[in-house]
Structure 1
Amino acid sequence: MFCKLAWKNVSRSLRDYGVYFLTLTFGVCLFYVFNSLESQWCMQMLSRSAHYMAESILVLMDVFSAFVSVVLAGLVLYANTFLMKRRKRELGTYLLLGMPTWRVSLLLVLETLLIGLLALAAGLLLGVLLSHGLGLLTISMFSAYPTEEAFGLILSVKAVGKTALYFGAIFLAVMALTGLTVSRSRLIDLIRGARKNEEMKERPLWTSVLTFLAGAALLGAAYAMLLVRGLLMIDSLFFLMLALGTAGTLLFFRSLSGFLLRLVKGRTGIYYRGLGMFVLRQFNSRIHTTYVSMTAICLLLLLAIGVTACCAGLNDTIESNTDAAAPYDFTIQNYSGDTEPVDIPSLLTANGFDTEEALRGAWLCPLYYNDPGLSAPGGEVPDVAVALSDYNALMALQGRPGLEEGELPQYREEPLASGPTGFTGYLVVPDRTAAELSVRRQLFAGNYAGDRQTAEERLQAAVASPGFSQTGSYRLGTRIQVYMENMGTKLMALFMGLYLGLVFLIAAAAVLALQQLSQAADDQSRYQTLSRLGAPEGMRDRAVFAQVSLAFFLPLALAVVHAAVGMTAANAVIAEVGRVDTAASSAITAAFILVVYGAYFLATFFGSRRIARGDG
């Protein structure tokens, strides 16, 4: 019977749990998605050739998850506080009817448990679907062709367990706090749980105009400093720029307490239409205490939009970067080639990698210690030299033109090897000159004839075999390794951006939604008065919609302006290593705002409308 009452209360009060349920569901979904990354096809591919990058991403996600769990715990506790405030009269009625305090506390604990289980189930279901979408997004970034299994839905049991553990701890804290709050509450406090309404204090127009102009001037100065100085100059002026931007945002919302009302008053068609006067005066009265929170919400939205857009649209031009750093499918360097020259192709064949069959082109090239007396016409004196015939053969493997003997000696910066030690600065000399120099090491470069992944696995096995590795000191560098390292960097930026961006977005939307629902509860008596004065229900509903829209979209509009300026500065930095795909970043960011922010907006509007009608 007691459990049935708890279930009935949850079902009946689901309208009050709307924002609370959304916050829990989005939190569970987000937590599951980014803790199930190791099950994604892209991470499995990354683990094969760049294991340390995959481990770094997973470790980073663990650190972020701890941070996110703290943020979500704060949001859940904040939402629970709002619910307790909304239900004080109901709880007081239970006590007035003779129900013991401990049973009221137990009732709330059961209700919290039920709503938590429902949110956990819904969040995990949504998380599996969103994880699949994120997997498809990352698959589209790889040039490698994925297997059919990569496109299927994946359920990570480990991520489910981790999510349940973290949110179980959060729910235990909420249930303990709820029980403690009820046990310490007095009956009179519960019966008189409503808040006092704030009195409107209208400010002179000139002060609002001056405040608005001062805010605009501060924002303009901050924008100019950001665009001129850029994002990378972290000094005292950088923090001054942040302070100016924050102060400008604060003054902008502070000015709305008089500026917006006086501005619309001059437009009688808007001010006197429907309940326009009521809506604006209500907004004007609230801004005295909410402009600080609106500033904080605007800055959170700025972080959400900026981080998401930069990281989601980041295109490191991986293919071109890989071509530059890895001109061949693989290179093997023999560091002991000066003392033990080795026939590397024959040695590979003897250890299970048939170079005649597996390669469509290859070249064994000695690298020489350069004579200090040899220099290029430009004056460069690199310490590595390569013979003209070897250089032209290597360029042929790359599909590039070689050099003529009349152009020698010549300093070149094209990498000779694949990987970080690719000799990007060396001297090309005639063959007869090279014959007089001492060998420094050997370089064997080649391109695979068939499937790259299969050929590379066979090559790595051959190089790692004792019969090969014991003949010298070797270093293997491959195109796939370089590609995966570049890909890992991009994935890390993408996952970090999406994770943090969504957390900031949920935090901003949840705080704003709870604030508006609390204000709707305060305004309930005013809407009842409007009803008694003859205002039809549709007109009152439109007034609620206008109030919620002002609260949600004013911070969003200014955050979009901030983000546009910030993205312009960020593009200048990113252009040094890649480019920003503005279409992709805008589409992904808009989709997240539409889904998350839009869901909170709708939940807040329907909740506020229900309260204004007297149903809540």
Structure 2
Amino acid sequence: MYLKLAYRNVRRSVRDYSVYFATLAFAACLLYSFTASTEYLLALDLTSDQRGFYESASMVMEAFSVFTVLVFAFLISYASKFILRRRSQEFGMYGLLGMPPTVMGRILAYEGCLVGVFALVCGVGLGVLLSPAFGAVAAFVFQVPWRLALVFSGKAAMWTCGCFAAIMALATWRGVRSMKKRTLGQLLEARRAPKEPRRRGLFSPALQLVAGVLILLLIYGMCLFSPVNFIMGILPLGVLAVFATGMIFRFAALRWPQWARKRPERYFRGLRFFEMRQVENQVGLSANAMACTCVLLACGMCMMVAGLAFSVGMRQPGMGAAAEALASIGFVGLFYGVTFLVAAAAVLALQQLADAADGVGRYRLLRQLGCSDGQLKGAVRGQVGVYFVAPMAFALVHAVFGFALIGFLAFVLGSAHYAVITGAVVAVTLALMAVYYVITCRESQRILLEQGADAAVA
């Protein structure tokens, strides 16, 4: 009975679950593709030396596979919070009808399992369908003939199912626990009530800014002057970079509106004051997510540059043995770099869609006050633009120091065309972010304006 009710809920709320499903399927696809990367190489005509070089890089692959699991755990956790907030009002109605919290938690768990299993199957299936494309990346890096072949890895599928099940179980448990702790009033008002900002820390914004800058300077200094220690401690340093970047974002989002208010003629132009207030109110909730995507973007660009520099850049006369030895590193860098860029853009898009779903009432009120659709669309573009431009701009600052380290190694190893490779990677990253920005703006406008108009008419 409860399983059937959960199935009907998912079908009825397909629009709410579409973003959630797409996020889960995306995570499953890339998690499977990470693990199956070795199978793509086995499907190609690699020499014994090339296979040996790749096997020697297996420890690097395993380290990054752990990192990717953590990244997608964060992504799925964020998506679970989004769907819980969207469905809270419906579960509040169940509570008013007398349904006990344990039953509501069971239904929510069933819904999560239904969507999760379907997303897992679709994600792994998509990974298999995309295996020729991943194989093309491997063939390009190792300079071997490419042939069209669908690759399925049973070992990768089992690993993906295990990781996915563990992450989904944890996210579902947290969602059920959060729902049980809420009162009926909190459930009914969840979509309309403003989110409670997190504590902004024990120190003032100015001290947080100083601390963030000092931490980043320490990381930059290690990258430039102690590269061995930097590479060995790249994971904890990456976590420190996320926290430091978050503190700087938090300071900027708090001070930027204050500086803007000193110019009333610009601050009150159009709906700019509304856009700034939106950013200011969300700072405690989104600063860490923006910082995480910023570091992901920087890592993705650096890995792509390293991958191309140590593969394409090594294709010089007399570089045969060195090129083959570095091709495995090039494959790892290119493969994971592209994935990190897509994951970062997906986190930003999901975050903005979640905020858009919560902001329908505010935009409906602006419409009732006489704001035109053009003004409302401009406000959406401006608000979404801040959340895309700020992480991208700061990611370029982070990446500059990584580019310097990779450039030095490329120079020592004799890699060519480094400037061209770096420029191409930055251009591709900017183009990818622009595409995600346009898609996110259109979907956010649909949610905010169309749903707001329908509610106003009703």
**TM-score (norm: length of structure 2):** 0.76
Residue 395 of structure 2 aligns with an amino acid whose one-letter code is A
Retained in 2: the 8 A contact 1:303–1:501? no
Write out per-residue CA displacement over residues 57-86 of structure 1, whole angstroms, 9 at most, x where no aligned residue.
455434533442243233312321232123
Q: Residue 499 of structure 1: which of 336, 340, 344 is its match?
A: 336
Matched, 1:32 2:12: no
- Compute the displacement of 1:295 (Å): 3.8
Matched, 1:560 2:396: yes
Aligned to 1:151: 147
Change over 3 Å in CA distance of 1:98–1:522 after alignment to 2: same
Change over 3 Å in CA distance of 1:576–1:78 after alignment to 2: same
Write out per-residue CA displacement over residues 270-328 of structure 1, whole angstroms, 9 at most, x where no aligned residue.
644432221123323433665455444433332232223322443352554545xxxxx
After superposition, residues 82-101 of structure 1 pair within 5 angstroms as: 82-101=82-101
Which one has the largest radius of gyration?
1
Retained in 2: the 8 A contact 1:219–1:244? yes
Give the fraction of aligned pairs with identical amino acids, expressed as a percent. Answer: 28
- Compute the displacement of 1:534 (Å): 1.6
Q: Distance in 1 between matches of 2:81 and 2:148?
A: 41
After superposition, residues 302-317 of structure 1 pair within 5 angstroms as: 302-315=298-311, 317=314
Residue 571 of structure 1 aligns with an amino acid whose one-letter code is G
Residue 127 of structure 2 aligns with an amino acid whose one-letter code is G
Matched, 1:258 2:255: yes
- Compute the displacement of 1:23 (Å): 2.6
Please list every run of 5 or more consecutive structure 2 residues that lacks an aligned counterpart in the other structure: 198-203
- Compute the displacement of 1:557 (Å): 1.5
After superposition, residues 517-596 of structure 1 pair within 5 angstroms as: 517=353, 519-520=355-356, 523-579=359-415, 581-584=418-421, 586-587=423-424, 590-591=427-428, 594-595=431-432
SS of equivalent to 1:111? helix
- Compute the displacement of 1:491 (Å): 2.0
Residue 294 of structure 2 aligns with an amino acid whose one-letter code is C
Q: Distance in 2 between matches of 1:495 and 1:93?
A: 50
Retained in 2: the 8 A contact 1:24–1:120? yes
**Higher mean C-alpha displacement, 586-595 vs 6-15:** 586-595
How well do the aligned residues superpose, as a CA RMSD in angstroms? 4.4
- Compute the displacement of 1:140 (Å): 2.8
Residue 547 of structure 1 aligns with an amino acid whose one-letter code is Q
- Compute the displacement of 1:123 (Å): 2.2
Retained in 2: the 8 A contact 1:94–1:104? yes
Across the two proteins, how many residue pairs are aligned to each other?
439
- Compute the displacement of 1:102 (Å): 4.5
Retained in 2: the 8 A contact 1:222–1:244? no
Matched, 1:278 2:114: no
Q: Residue 159 of structure 2: which of 159, 162, 168 is its match?
A: 162
- Compute the displacement of 1:195 (Å): 3.9
Q: Distance in 2 between matches of 1:123 and 1:565?
A: 35
Q: Which has the higher strand share?
A: 1
Write out per-residue CA displacement over residues 480-523 of structure 1, whole angstroms, 9 at most, x where no aligned residue.
xx47xx425322343145326634762x4455445445544554
Retained in 1: the 8 A contact 2:131–2:151? no
Change over 3 Å in CA distance of 1:12–1:554 after alignment to 2: farther
Residue 489 of structure 1 aligns with an amino acid whose one-letter code is L
Write out per-residue CA displacement over residues 144-176 of structure 1, whole angstroms, 9 at most, x where no aligned residue.
5x2xxx421323142334323432333344444
Change over 3 Å in CA distance of 1:505–1:260 after alignment to 2: farther
Retained in 2: the 8 A contact 1:231–1:570? no
Q: Distance in 1 between matches of 2:248 and 2:38?
A: 46
Change over 3 Å in CA distance of 1:542–1:4 after alignment to 2: farther
Residue 439 of structure 2 aligns with an amino acid whose one-letter code is L
